[in-house]
Chain A
């Protein structure tokens, strides 16, 4: 049975040594003795690792033995360990919101490792503050939501289609919307795919056919997003055809697979100034159409508009291999054509691309390393040829190459309209313009907003294999809530006192999650499942009409007073 409101707080404090991380600095037994003296604390103990299975069973034991109805763990950061301790409390019959964490590692032992005595005093302070709050916290009930078992995939390129196919095979309905009149995305413009040299069109056609024949997938082409409302499990997207026809889609999850654009190097290296200066993508098209002429010499320049000092600082990942592949294709067509690749650092990574590089060298493709501070220049010569001047970094001398065709390798960039989409979905873009994931390392294809995911080049430049891996990845991530069917969401949300709300709308404008709107009465209303409890609304409400569950003014003031040494018994 859950322990409920109104009971006198009976607090248990568990102080973690964290091996030597805390215990090596803070005098933990002393801190435990101090904790026992705090009001409403009926039990305190120390653990080598409170988060270990042994430590967790100690918490459960304590709850049972001392009839605890509040638990404080003094250890590390709630960012990583709070869910674990909360779940432990829950298993022992204590509502998980009756748990409070005191960080005596990051905030204390690590920061003051050379001052053990002062650190011990500070640990006592931190625990006193946590106890002050623990005395006032209340059990909370988490809202439950049903999940619509269908997904919206935005973007019908290889990433979007792969994700859709996998989700469909897993038993979910999928809507793909594609802004172009046909499916395929970037792959439609490509000729051969490295390193296998598969024909892009053949591969694409197979996937498009599989999508078309899958009854669980509905495709809407020439269609864009107009509005997205709702939250995980219950999104409502309004999508619109070019002809103005709008449709409402109810989906449980959303996948962003909008792909990328290619940078157009206007004003660089004679592009659009001299006829035979083209981009790598234009070369790809010439090869695809069989329109490439037999030239005496082709010169490719890498990192045009990427890895810049300011602006597009990122490496576009795919350009080196794309250049190598197209150089090899040119050599296959015209063995006598000389191909130069002017590069900064050749991004031939992973299991296969180094071998590809060696193969290209064997085919006679010439590589010249240039330096960022001494980039190549292209000038038009009188005989109709192009002259490329470049400082050869390894020969340490300026060389001049006369060529017929100059090919510029330009980076993938974010679409112009990505900003709008990011606002519709309330998901962020990074400083490079690409969609920004929830956690760079361990949540690479999730957004911080629940129920929305990202894959393919919308996330960052990547090649087909990498896009497909990520697309399959989101097909798992999005499937989880849809397979579970019912979710609980965090109860730490904003609460509006309707009697105080003046309907000024400040909170509506400021809420980064779009969780607040004005209802028919003109007062703010919080959609609990969308609220992340960030507190922006509460802090800015001029009428003090908004308070935060689990972070009420009363609780925060009690903590502040405790910090000053005033703990009212």
Chain B
């Protein structure tokens, strides 16, 4: 009976994946819409996860594949929600499926096409530190494992078409509008990084050895552009000293956002430990303001980082980074607020931990559905305490980072919560408002 009822989930990161699996697992139909060519979201880009140091892809991939294989889940990747009308229990949705120029039913994911494609493009999955072809899958474990032609960079040489034995390449593919009828909607659009170039004092974009944390994560990752070898991008040298800056653009009243991204202190600690695993001799300093250790096992994790891994924490928000243009080495200036001294430090790499901000997609989806956003751009909860996953529109729920800063387990638990509320709407029957 329930199988005729459907829920639209927008966003294929871990929150959207979890909500979809919960709903599908109980016999409801799910349409999972993801704007990029593969589901997986941010978690797919991570090397390890705190505080357990689980390999991120290893624990995520089975869930991604489960979404792909589940008979109740229809994956609509490379797609965007264009129009939503109706009300709780009876929404009509129009989804735009962008042309991949690949027949998904034919593509076997063999990769022959990409081997012949002459065009190399910086790879978004590797935060543009690595290279992909104009015909590509974002990462090897992509779900679905179907190639996409990047229209912007493709030169239409059609070598891919000639080499594809499955005859899957179709340059005539057109955008497609898919109409869906669903009873409830879950928005799980995730986050993006604050543009740290706005804080010119750190030199991001000008200095090669100043990175943001997600770039650094790819640099640490075995599936990343260096095959997991920790190297400086400027000269390929193994770094001897690395500094992490916390609160870059967050908790800030000037030039940034006022909120705390909640995960940075602990993921920086994780990345710091990974540095020591990769290069035991490399010194690691974390420049923090308040160490946010509020989550389960976080304080213990930071203690281990200090005692067992020799990570040094300095309470300071560095003021400036200066590059030696000959060597690419960096000097940073900071005021140690515990020692009450202004100091400098020479380092090989600086890793900025930027504010994690709601995606532009949140804003777009909000205007399509009529959802309210709060002053920071997060989906506004109907009641922040007692109805955190409800929005101002009955039948539309939200979960994960797009609802407010949170880490993976919080996103997963809340995704299940949004699934529960969506299931309530369906149980209550079409047309009736949820409580």
Q: B200 at the A/B interface (Cβ < 8 Å)?
A: no
Q: A542 at the A/B interface (Cβ < 8 Å)?
A: no
Which among A80-88, A236-244, A530-538 touches the partner chain? A80-88
Q: Which of A20, A166, A314 makes the CB contact (< 8 A) with B296?
A: A314
Q: A448 at the A/B interface (Cβ < 8 Å)?
A: no
Chain A residues within 8 Å of B163, by CB: none
**Which of chain A's residues 183-233 have a Cβ closer than 8 Å to chain B?**
193, 195-196, 198, 203, 207, 210
Chain B residues within 8 Å of A63, by CB: none
Which among A1-9, A472-480, A545-553 touches the partner chain? A472-480
Within the complex, what minimum Cβ distance (angstroms) separates A83 from chain B? 7
The answer for the CA separation of A352 and B261 in the assembled complex, in Å, is: 10
Q: Kindly supply a per-residue 1/0 record for chain A positions 461-490, scoring 1 wherever the CB is within 8 Å of any chain B CB and 0 otherwise.
A: 000111011111111110110011000000
The answer for the CA separation of A480 and B384 in the assembled complex, in Å, is: 26
The answer for the CA separation of A82 and B297 in the assembled complex, in Å, is: 29
Instruction: Determine whether the beta carbon of B293 is less than 8 Å from that of A442.
Output: no
Query: Is chain B's binding surface mostly helix, strand, loop or mixed?
Result: loop
The answer for the CA separation of A80 and B338 in the assembled complex, in Å, is: 45
Q: How large is the interface on A (under 10, 10 to 19, 20 to 34, 35 or more residues)?
A: 35 or more
Given A49-B140, A80-B59, A207-B386: A480 in contact with B294 (beta carbons within 8 A)? no
Instruction: Determine whether the beta carbon of A351 is less than 8 Å from that of B299.
Output: no
Given A53-B68, A349-B292, A445-B416: A354 in contact with B110 (beta carbons within 8 A)? no
Q: A266 at the A/B interface (Cβ < 8 Å)?
A: no
The answer for the CA separation of A158 and B386 in the assembled complex, in Å, is: 9
Q: Which of A20, A313, A444, A476 makes the CB contact (< 8 A) with B300?
A: A313
Chain B's closest residue to A321 (CB) is B294
Which among B172-180, B201-209, B402-410 touches the partner chain? B402-410
The answer for the CA separation of A162 and B298 in the assembled complex, in Å, is: 27
Chain A residues within 8 Å of B389, by CB: 469, 472
Q: Kindly supply a per-residue 1/0 record for chain A positions 69-86, scoring 1 wherever the CB is within 8 Å of any chain B CB and 0 otherwise.
A: 000000011001101100
Chain B residues within 8 Å of A476, by CB: 22, 26, 416-417, 419-420, 423
Instruction: Determine whether the beta carbon of B262 is less than 8 Å from that of A350.
Output: yes
**Which of chain A's residues 142-174 have a Cβ closer than 8 Å to chain B?**
158, 162, 165-166, 169-171
Q: A332 at the A/B interface (Cβ < 8 Å)?
A: no
Instruction: Determine whether the beta carbon of A442 is less than 8 Å from that of B408.
Output: yes
Chain A residues within 8 Å of B63, by CB: 442
Chain A residues within 8 Å of B387, by CB: 468
Q: B308 at the A/B interface (Cβ < 8 Å)?
A: no
Instruction: Determine whether the beta carbon of B338 is less than 8 Å from that of A349.
Output: no
Q: A460 at the A/B interface (Cβ < 8 Å)?
A: yes
Given A354-B258, A441-B49: A21 in contact with B222 (beta carbons within 8 A)? yes
Chain B residues within 8 Å of A77, by CB: 58
Q: B428 at the A/B interface (Cβ < 8 Å)?
A: yes
Q: B340 at the A/B interface (Cβ < 8 Å)?
A: yes
Given A394-B338, A441-B49, A472-B417: A354 in contact with B260 (beta carbons within 8 A)? yes
Q: B311 at the A/B interface (Cβ < 8 Å)?
A: no
Chain A residues within 8 Å of B328, by CB: none
Q: B13 at the A/B interface (Cβ < 8 Å)?
A: no
Instruction: Determine whether the beta carbon of B421 is less than 8 Å from that of A441.
Output: no
The answer for the CA separation of A158 and B49 in the assembled complex, in Å, is: 30
The answer for the CA separation of A440 and B251 in the assembled complex, in Å, is: 27
Instruction: Determine whether the beta carbon of A354 is less than 8 Å from that of B259.
Output: yes
Which among A114-122, A268-276, A340-348, A500-508 touches the partner chain? A340-348
Instruction: Determine whether the beta carbon of A196 is less than 8 Å from that of B385.
Output: yes
The answer for the CA separation of A160 and B294 in the assembled complex, in Å, is: 23
Chain B residues within 8 Å of A210, by CB: 435
**Which of chain B's residues 382-417 have a Cβ closer than 8 Å to chain A?**
384-389, 404-406, 408-410, 412-417
The answer for the CA separation of A53 and B69 in the assembled complex, in Å, is: 9
Instruction: Determine whether the beta carbon of A464 is less than 8 Å from that of B386.
Output: yes
Chain B residues within 8 Å of A133, by CB: none
Chain B residues within 8 Å of A20, by CB: 227
Chain A's closest residue to B56 (CB) is A441
Within the complex, what minimum Cβ distance (angstroms) separates A126 from chain B? 18
Q: B290 at the A/B interface (Cβ < 8 Å)?
A: yes
Chain A residues within 8 Å of B406, by CB: 350
Chain A's closest residue to B137 (CB) is A52
Given A54-B145, A87-B69, A354-B259: A307 in contact with B420 (beta carbons within 8 A)? no
Q: A315 at the A/B interface (Cβ < 8 Å)?
A: yes
Q: B159 at the A/B interface (Cβ < 8 Å)?
A: no
Q: A353 at the A/B interface (Cβ < 8 Å)?
A: yes
Chain B residues within 8 Å of A166, by CB: 420-421, 424
Q: Which of A317, A395, A443 makes the CB contact (< 8 A) with B295?
A: A317
Instruction: Determine whether the beta carbon of A54 is less than 8 Å from that of B110.
Output: yes
The answer for the CA separation of A345 and B288 in the assembled complex, in Å, is: 10
Given A52-B109, A396-B340: A440 in contact with B259 (beta carbons within 8 A)? no
Q: B223 at the A/B interface (Cβ < 8 Å)?
A: yes
Q: Which of A51, A76, A169, A396 makes the CB contact (< 8 A) with B428?
A: A169
The answer for the CA separation of A395 and B340 in the assembled complex, in Å, is: 8
The answer for the CA separation of A375 and B293 in the assembled complex, in Å, is: 19
Q: Which of A51, A76, A345 makes the CB contact (< 8 A) with B291?
A: A345
Q: A434 at the A/B interface (Cβ < 8 Å)?
A: yes
Chain A residues within 8 Å of B434, by CB: 169
Q: Kindly supply a per-residue 1/0 record for chain B positions 39-65, scoring 1 wherever the CB is within 8 Å of any chain A CB and 0 otherwise.
A: 000000000010110100011111101
Q: A48 at the A/B interface (Cβ < 8 Å)?
A: yes
Instruction: Determine whether the beta carbon of A465 is less than 8 Å from that of B385.
Output: yes
The answer for the CA separation of A203 and B383 in the assembled complex, in Å, is: 11
Residues on A lying within 8 angstroms of B by beta carbon are 19-21, 48-49, 51-54, 76-77, 80-81, 83-84, 87, 158, 162, 165-166, 169-171, 193, 195-196, 198, 203, 207, 210, 307, 313-315, 317, 345-355, 358, 371, 393-396, 432, 434, 439-445, 455, 459-460, 464-466, 468-477, 479-480, 483-484
Interface contacts beyond A53-B144, A80-B58: sample of 12 additional A-B pairs, CB < 8 Å, sorted by A? A51-B65, A52-B145, A80-B61, A87-B69, A169-B424, A170-B427, A442-B60, A442-B409, A465-B385, A468-B388, A476-B417, A484-B25
- Can you spell out 30 A-B residue pairs with CB atoms less than 8 angstroms apart? A51-B141, A53-B109, A53-B144, A54-B109, A83-B62, A84-B62, A84-B65, A84-B69, A162-B386, A203-B385, A207-B386, A349-B260, A351-B378, A353-B260, A393-B338, A440-B54, A442-B59, A444-B409, A444-B413, A465-B388, A468-B385, A470-B414, A471-B417, A475-B417, A476-B22, A476-B416, A476-B420, A476-B423, A484-B26, A484-B27
Q: Which 3 A-B pairs have the closest CB atoms?
A: A472-B417, A473-B416, A444-B409
Residues on B lying within 8 angstroms of A by beta carbon are 2, 14, 18, 22, 25-27, 49, 51-52, 54, 58-63, 65-66, 68-69, 108-111, 140-141, 144-145, 222-223, 227, 251, 253, 258-260, 262, 290-300, 303, 337-340, 374, 376, 378, 384-389, 404-406, 408-410, 412-421, 423-424, 427-428, 434-435
